Amino acid sequence: MTRNYKFTISYDGSRYYGWERQPDQPLTVQGKIETVLDRMTGREGNEIISAGRTDAGVHALALTANAHLDTGLSPTEIRDYLNQYLPEDICVKDVRIAGDRFHARYNCVGRTYRYTCYIGKLKPVFDRKYVYVPDRIPDISRVREAAEILIGRHDFGSFCATPHMKKSTVRTVDLIDISVNNDLLTFTYHGDGFLRGMVRIMTGTLLEVGWGKRAPESMTELLEARDRSLAGFTVPAKGLCLVEDEYNKG
């Protein structure tokens, strides 16, 4: 009997070319999981759909996905089977039976991302794959002032890594929290959706504000321009982690 299953997945994206399966690239998270699903069900062509596609090198703490599977295994047995055969840098944290119409991408109403910078004086030896080390410490007050301008419903075309985006680049970002805890500078973003590269471009732009390369109030002009070439640099993927996907209850 075919049923729809909801998955919660975490992974270290360091060695992967992103989530999305690619015909010429075997090292993708989706590809690895689907290979094990095919083995588990004894059928080829199983597809697992994620709430969003993380880019190469980006990590996930709790990514949501769904798949329609024909299997007699229980959700717990599916979880355990996957974790037995998946590589050590991918973990299926939870599997549940979902409604037939549940779709991880289309039903998602919110996402939280976290970008982490290391601003300590010593090398982050054991965290080096998960943090970006800027060459100087930004002025946090300037960064927060600029972030406030970006909060709201705007056209974020200036922060989109896809040139000539055909679909709408309007998104709602209702939280940009900048916090400092010991040697870590953390940017937390929450919104109804994010464009390709958007979080990394926003973070690079905010860092440039903190370094004095651009004024906080210039964010208004940047939003109006809808021109990627006017925004800041794209911070490295390794500092970015998808924290969670959100869905309406019921």
Q: What percent of the chain has pLDDT over 90?
A: 94
Q: In whole angstroms, what is the distance from residue 89 CA to residue 13 CA? A: 8
Q: In whole angstroms, what is the distance from residue 49 CA to residue 12 CA? A: 18
Domain range annotation of the chain: 2-98, 111-247
pLDDT in tens, 174-233: 999 999 999 999 999 999 999 999 999 999 999 999 999 999 999 999 999 999 999 999
Pairing of strands 152-155, 90-98: unpaired
pLDDT in tens, 44-60: 999 999 999 999 999 99
Mean per-residue pLDDT over the chain, rounded = 96
Same fold across 2-98 and 111-247: yes
Contact in structure between 50 and 34 (CB atoms under 8 Å)? no
pLDDT in tens, 157-172: 999 998 877 889 999 9
**218-225 helix and 198-210 helix, angle to the nearest 10 degrees:** 150
3-class DSSP assignment, residue 209: helix
Mean pLDDT value across residues 26-43: 96
Pairing of strands 59-70, 240-247: parallel
State the architecture of 111-247 in CATH terms. 2-Layer Sandwich (3.30)
Catalytic residues: 55
State the architecture of 2-98 in CATH terms. 2-Layer Sandwich (3.30)
**In the predicted structure, residue 249 carries a pLDDT above the cut 90:** no
Q: In whole angstroms, what is the distance from residue 118 CA to residue 136 CA? A: 10
pLDDT of residue 250: 61
Return the structure tokens found at 29. 């998270």
Mean pLDDT value across residues 77-104: 98
